[in-house]
Structure 1
Amino acid sequence: MQRVCFTLQVKRDRMQEYAQRHAAVWPEMVQALHDTGWHNYSLFLRDDGLLVGYLQTPDLVAAQEGMARTDVNARWQAEMAEFFEDLDLPPDQGFWQLGEVFHLEDQLPTSTTADLRHDPTPTAQDQ
């Protein structure tokens, strides 16, 4: 699974409305994202308008192409475009993708990774 992190810049005077729109994303948009491979997708908004997005997907290009084929995405991107600074492309195409430089689970020994899947709380037998 590919982990993707990206940034965009939301206009400061539009931040509140941007957050409100994302508190109630259209159900058909949510379903389309899921169906085209956008998983564990989150957006984070800093108080200066920096938007950081994170998702997991088998293939980002395929996920973007899948969304591009949906009518709901075209409508959503058209509505969202006005919220961003210096953006000449639709938001889902104009974001700055960040390169991953560290992932904890990739560096843990296999036995430690397996141990993390279990509840670390000591039981009566352990004490």
Structure 2
Amino acid sequence: MTADEHERYAFRLQVAPERLADYTRRHAEVWPEMLQALHDSGWHGYSLFAAPDGLLIGYVEAASLEAAQAAMALTDVNTRWQASMAEFFTSLDGTPPDEGFELLTQVFNLEAQLGLPGAGRRTTTDTITEEAS
């Protein structure tokens, strides 16, 4: 995998519906040092999407999600951010939000099916397919 190739990851969390507006406002003003730490730790194309019922879907590209998470875990800003955001989530049972999400399985990729350049990147689907073989 070259420096320009990243695996794609999607995950879900549940924000308490009555806290969704506050959660959204907080993400309109993420601390600059948190943004820089994410970038420096290998998080690319990171986006969050929310449904009215509080379902939160995240998308990120990284050479390795585990390595990107480990790098963030070493930063003080991440510890402070996760502690400040934990109140918005349901069903984490004390687990920080960046460790308590459910990783989703990719089931379709247009570029891969069309055979387009760059579509050869590994995804979580590849791992599941290999495990099923």
TM-score where L is the length of structure 2: 0.81
Q: Percent identity of the aligned residues?
A: 59
Residue 16 of structure 1 is matched in structure 2 by 21
**Does residue 90 of structure 1 match 2:96?**
yes
* Aligned length, in residue pairs: 112
User: CA shift at 1:68, angstroms?
Assistant: 0.1
SS of 1:92's equivalent in the other structure is coil
Per-residue CA deviations over 1:41-88 (Å, capped at 9, x if unaligned) read 000010000000001000000000000000000000001100001112
SS of alignment partner, residue 98 of structure 2:
helix
Matches of 2:46 and 2:60 in 1, distance apart?
4
Moved over 6 A (4+): none
Structure 2 unaligned blocks of 5 or more: 1-5, 119-133
- Per-residue CA deviations over 1:7-34 (Å, capped at 9, x if unaligned) read 0000011100000000010000000000
Which structure's CA Rg is the greater one?
1
Distance in 2, Cα, partners of 1:103 & 1:67: 28
Cα distance between partner residues in 2 of 1:61 and 1:12: 29
Q: Which of the residues 65, 68, 71 maps onto 1:63?
A: 68
The answer on 1:99 being equivalent to 2:105 is yes
Query: Partner of 1:93: helix, strand, or coil?
Result: coil
Q: CA deviation at 1:105?
A: 0.8
Output the amino acid matched with 2:113: Q
Distance in 2 between residues matched to 1:71 and 1:104, nearest whole Å: 39
Give the match's secondary structure for 2:78: helix
1:36 aligns with 2:46: no
